[in-house]
Chain A
């Protein structure tokens, strides 16, 4: 394993694979904060150069966190298809990048090798890719999943309608939900972040939305994004849970801080299968984001991007219906600017897809970052071109409960129309029946939440 590189007249020597992985990253404030980022532009390129020459076997032999010490590492290695790994272990990372981008390589091919790739291998590949590389690679991969409806159908773009309310007011939430549906948002899921993480609130929100879905025959899925254990209690009591949600991270220590473990997730998945209200087979909804391990002080000296890849490695065993990335939500100490967010979003989309996950992106930002609406819209369009399965839908782009900005209902409709993408098939039929959409375009009637108030 060669850890030394010469960039023109300068020689850079690295101590470990972990250091190479960190220094090969594009600039992000979280890696700076931890003190593992490249010290110069040349050092960054040197790290990429070293990385390009490493074989997948080198990486296999050097997990960034030891197998014995970390549940996430174990999930990644235990889930690996060793036969496929054996076939490709002599590939270098540089070759893997070219293989991904090669015209002859199809999405099917990538889905196949995906099973023989550890998360570090996938992260390493993405570190060698530019913005357009990431879009080209991502676009090839299409991951479908099914809960009540099918997500990821080619030619479609779906949205999670996110009608959050600062005090969990049912009426207030419903108002935002109706507005979202009237813009065609909500085919991925109707997903609410509650303020109060308790069984009563979660059940009340789930039942309200489910009844509304039944009354108006809306083909979608239902989810309240409380802590997984709260949702499990609600499920036990008979609440109509279509999707079980949880935030997860790339180290066992960070997952401990989130209050989750493989054992809890296993139990949740089993409970969703036995007592949930959805068809399945995909019943889980995960959220992830670069930097969560840093903000929880649980990064163990590993860079944010690699940890994010490991999170996907952890997630894939649960065959989620959807995995949403919220890197822009974590904060300026991890991702500082609009440029950093866009880069992270594209990396995450690519890495998630190469893990075989049905990825969506929230190209979002908070008010204490150096980012604005323009950055967000650029990120959204790039991720849509890269074939994100879904985005969020927030009224006017302003989440009044979580206090951050995300794709608006308007952005949802715009992105579909710009790229000629359609809602999920069942949902499109429903939108047409409601007179909201016609030939893939919003009708005159669209955007009016009062169409539900007869």
Chain B
């Protein structure tokens, strides 16, 4: 029963973007912060980045295919540089972002990495989550909490711009638009176009320009297109109803803008040009990296300022997403939970939230809802392990918790007959007693993980790590797998 007061875990974050690939390794300190006579409360109390990789160009086999083997070599060499072996990594996430995320071969990367990027490193992505990680990594989330001002972070990468709006440190809104610095490619420091992506073609069309790959272009010719794209990025901050180019380039629903925004932070590869003293004056400056990132950055700044937004400097620009991923992807469960199993860690556990609004009143009705949902998703006979997620029992009374326990057991009869572990994720602080009730109601011993104080509503899959702090808590990574979208 040895309970240490704190424990350190090593977390890796890997960001494979349209243009660049990066990795950070951080050390998280978890501690029981509850004093003396209080029930323990284990929290992450410190996050320290102990290794930052170089910024690599994402290795591609061709335009559509990421070189998974090369990516894994990058990871391997960075581990070596940090003096770590895969076994020393406790948790983390790979995030495949931007244009790359669309590509069908994402799964290959994940498979290639999962083997050696630590026992517990898995793929996480999705435009919303990516945006939020970037905003946490850039410092926008913290800024909103410290200054008590709604702050938006726009992570402008090679292919996309990801918005996350923060209010008092919490992400309240997110969106993604298909604007990035790498959408048109050039000869380095030259003026010849080598490639025009689909979204760039749409932008060209809407501005009435007719550029083709192979053509040479002047700065006055290029500027209106880039300006149009920059204005699209700013449009999303101004209104939630869109027409024209902005509408066409939006990849997700637009920002809701429930609270008006004044403070803006830009992160991502283009960010440094937003905060530069001067804009590029020649094509050679624009295409220093074979794209138009420097020009997009400058035009974005001009458009933002013209529209009256106040630009704040981020703590991190190009590394924001990877730092956010490395330090923010791990959540801890509540500190009173019910664990009765030996199979942790569990990877890629599908999350099912059967209860749309309130929990029904009787065990029978609860069971019905659960059964219907399991059937609809054809879970019972598939291979996968699922987690049943919910906000809480009808009330926090022991009676309602018992009813919920009985209902869940009844509803999961078929699923449990295949000897799969029972996994419950509940937001309300009642994981331990719910687990106890399920145990007491079951007529046999169950393999069970019943954890609480986690919001998993909007995610598809979770990873549950090995218990920490003498079994008090488990680390959980929430994820949205790109290849299912």
Interface set of A (CB-CB < 8 Å, partner B): 167, 195-196, 450, 453
Q: Is there contact, CB below 8 Å, between A195 and B148?
A: no
At the interface, yes or no: B35 with Cβ under 8 Å from chain A? yes
Q: How many residue pairs, one in A and one in B, have C-beta atoms under 8 Å apart?
A: 7
Taking the closest CB of chain B, its distance from the CB of A178, in whole angstroms, is 12
Taking the closest CB of chain B, its distance from the CB of A329, in whole angstroms, is 20
Q: Is there contact, CB below 8 Å, between A195 and B147?
A: no
User: For residue A453, which residues in chain B have a CB less than 8 angstroms away from its CB?
Assistant: 147-148
Interface string of B42-76 (1 = CB under 8 A from A): 00000000000000000000000000000000000
Q: Is there contact, CB below 8 Å, between A196 and B148?
A: no
Q: Is there contact, CB below 8 Å, between A167 and B35?
A: yes
User: For residue B35, which residues in chain A have a CB less than 8 angstroms away from its CB?
Assistant: 167, 195-196
User: For residue B148, which residues in chain A have a CB less than 8 angstroms away from its CB?
Assistant: 450, 453
Instruction: Name the CB-closest residue of A to B147.
Output: A453
Taking the closest CB of chain B, its distance from the CB of A336, in whole angstroms, is 27
User: For residue B147, which residues in chain A have a CB less than 8 angstroms away from its CB?
Assistant: 453
User: For residue A167, which residues in chain B have a CB less than 8 angstroms away from its CB?
Assistant: 33, 35
Taking the closest CB of chain A, its distance from the CB of B144, in whole angstroms, is 12
7 A–B contact pairs at CB < 8 A? Answer: A167-B33, A167-B35, A195-B35, A196-B35, A450-B148, A453-B147, A453-B148
User: For residue A195, which residues in chain B have a CB less than 8 angstroms away from its CB?
Assistant: 35
Q: How many residues of B contact A (CB 8 A)?
A: 4
User: For residue B33, which residues in chain A have a CB less than 8 angstroms away from its CB?
Assistant: 167
Report Cα–Cα, A196/B37, bound state, in Å. Answer: 11
Report Cα–Cα, A453/B146, bound state, in Å. Answer: 9
Report Cα–Cα, A453/B168, bound state, in Å. Answer: 13
Q: Would you list the 5 A-B pairs with minimal beta carbon distance, nearest first?
A: A196-B35, A195-B35, A453-B148, A453-B147, A167-B35
Report Cα–Cα, A453/B145, bound state, in Å. Answer: 11
Instruction: Name the CB-closest residue of B to A198.
Output: B35
Report Cα–Cα, A453/B148, bound state, in Å. Answer: 8
Instruction: Name the CB-closest residue of B to A201.
Output: B35
Report Cα–Cα, A195/B41, bound state, in Å. Answer: 15
Report Cα–Cα, A167/B38, bound state, in Å. Answer: 11
Taking the closest CB of chain B, its distance from the CB of A443, in whole angstroms, is 22
Report Cα–Cα, A453/B147, bound state, in Å. Answer: 7
Report Cα–Cα, A196/B148, bound state, in Å. Answer: 28
Q: Which residues of chain B from 1 to 54 have a CB within 8 Å of any chain A CB?
A: 33, 35
Taking the closest CB of chain A, its distance from the CB of B35, in whole angstroms, is 5
Instruction: Name the CB-closest residue of B to A194.
Output: B35
Taking the closest CB of chain B, its distance from the CB of A143, in whole angstroms, is 37
Report Cα–Cα, A80/B389, bound state, in Å. Answer: 73
Report Cα–Cα, A195/B37, bound state, in Å. Answer: 11
Interface string of B144-176 (1 = CB under 8 A from A): 000110000000000000000000000000000
Report Cα–Cα, A450/B146, bound state, in Å. Answer: 12
Taking the closest CB of chain B, its distance from the CB of A124, in whole angstroms, is 42
User: For residue A196, which residues in chain B have a CB less than 8 angstroms away from its CB?
Assistant: 35
Instruction: Name the CB-closest residue of B to A169.
Output: B33
Taking the closest CB of chain B, its distance from the CB of A192, in whole angstroms, is 15
Taking the closest CB of chain A, its distance from the CB of B362, in whole angstroms, is 39
Taking the closest CB of chain B, its distance from the CB of A356, in whole angstroms, is 38
Report Cα–Cα, A127/B148, bound state, in Å. Answer: 55
Instruction: Name the CB-closest residue of A to B33.
Output: A167
Taking the closest CB of chain A, its distance from the CB of B143, in whole angstroms, is 12
Q: Which residues of chain B from 119 to 152 have a CB within 8 Å of any chain A CB?
A: 147-148
Taking the closest CB of chain B, its distance from the CB of A453, in whole angstroms, is 6
Report Cα–Cα, A384/B147, bound state, in Å. Answer: 39
User: For residue A450, which residues in chain B have a CB less than 8 angstroms away from its CB?
Assistant: 148
Report Cα–Cα, A196/B38, bound state, in Å. Answer: 12
Report Cα–Cα, A252/B35, bound state, in Å. Answer: 30
Report Cα–Cα, A195/B33, bound state, in Å. Answer: 12
Report Cα–Cα, A167/B33, bound state, in Å. Answer: 9
Q: Which residues of chain B from 245 to 284 have a CB within 8 Å of any chain A CB?
A: none
Report Cα–Cα, A450/B148, bound state, in Å. Answer: 10
Report Cα–Cα, A196/B34, bound state, in Å. Answer: 9
Taking the closest CB of chain A, its distance from the CB of B42, in whole angstroms, is 14
Instruction: Name the CB-closest residue of B to A195.
Output: B35
Taking the closest CB of chain B, its distance from the CB of A398, in whole angstroms, is 20
Taking the closest CB of chain B, its distance from the CB of A244, in whole angstroms, is 23
Report Cα–Cα, A450/B149, bound state, in Å. Answer: 12
Report Cα–Cα, A412/B147, bound state, in Å. Answer: 29
Taking the closest CB of chain B, its distance from the CB of A142, in whole angstroms, is 41
Report Cα–Cα, A274/B148, bound state, in Å. Answer: 40
Taking the closest CB of chain B, its distance from the CB of A191, in whole angstroms, is 20
Instruction: Name the CB-closest residue of A to B145.
Output: A171
Report Cα–Cα, A167/B35, bound state, in Å. Answer: 8
Report Cα–Cα, A357/B35, bound state, in Å. Answer: 35
Report Cα–Cα, A167/B32, bound state, in Å. Answer: 12
Report Cα–Cα, A185/B147, bound state, in Å. Answer: 24
Taking the closest CB of chain B, its distance from the CB of A72, in whole angstroms, is 30
Taking the closest CB of chain A, its distance from the CB of B451, in whole angstroms, is 23
Taking the closest CB of chain B, its distance from the CB of A164, in whole angstroms, is 14
Report Cα–Cα, A396/B406, bound state, in Å. Answer: 46
Report Cα–Cα, A417/B33, bound state, in Å. Answer: 42
Report Cα–Cα, A196/B33, bound state, in Å. Answer: 10
Report Cα–Cα, A196/B36, bound state, in Å. Answer: 8
Taking the closest CB of chain B, its distance from the CB of A140, in whole angstroms, is 45
Report Cα–Cα, A196/B35, bound state, in Å. Answer: 7
Report Cα–Cα, A272/B25, bound state, in Å. Answer: 43
Taking the closest CB of chain A, its distance from the CB of B398, in whole angstroms, is 27
Instruction: Name the CB-closest residue of A to B148.
Output: A453
Taking the closest CB of chain B, its distance from the CB of A316, in whole angstroms, is 34
Report Cα–Cα, A450/B33, bound state, in Å. Answer: 28
Report Cα–Cα, A46/B33, bound state, in Å. Answer: 57
Report Cα–Cα, A358/B190, bound state, in Å. Answer: 79
Taking the closest CB of chain A, its distance from the CB of B184, in whole angstroms, is 42
Taking the closest CB of chain B, its distance from the CB of A195, in whole angstroms, is 5
Report Cα–Cα, A329/B48, bound state, in Å. Answer: 43
Report Cα–Cα, A307/B33, bound state, in Å. Answer: 39
Taking the closest CB of chain B, its distance from the CB of A26, in whole angstroms, is 37
Report Cα–Cα, A453/B33, bound state, in Å. Answer: 28
